[in-house]
Amino acid sequence: VGETLLHKSSSLSDTQKIIFGATPAIAIGAYKEYVDDKTSDNGDMVLNVLGALTGAYLGNYFNNKYFFKLNHEEATKTTKLTMGYNF
């Protein structure tokens, strides 16, 4: 979600969009690890970071390749969703 919100910002590179997009998920994962029981294994923070970066990377790839357009026509009371692929 974070990468998608940043995607329309033309001033950021794809790498910056991925990093900034993954940051909220990484912060949430870090907070979860911090509040977990101190006796439990907290070694899965690496997986939290990898998951957040993977999600942001896939979001960036999807946003670069596909687009959606929602068009509502009041006269006919119809709404059309169009999906396209950027070659």
Q: How confident is the model at residue 76 (pLDDT cuts 50, 70, 90)?
A: very high
Whole-angstrom Cα Rg for the chain: 18
What would the pLDDT profile of 38-53 be if each residue is shown by its tens digit? 656 656 778 888 889 9
The phi, psi pair for 32, rounded to 5°, reads: -60, -45
- The 3-state DSSP class for residue 86 equals coil
Cβ-based neighbours of 67, under 8 Å, separated by 6 or more? 83, 84, 86
- pTM, two decimals, is 0.63
What would the pLDDT profile of 55-66 be if each residue is shown by its tens digit? 889 888 888 888
Residue 17 has pLDDT above 80, yes or no: yes
Other CB atoms within a 10 A radius of the CB of residue 12 amount to 15
Looking at the chain, the whole-number percentage of residues with pLDDT higher than 70 is 89
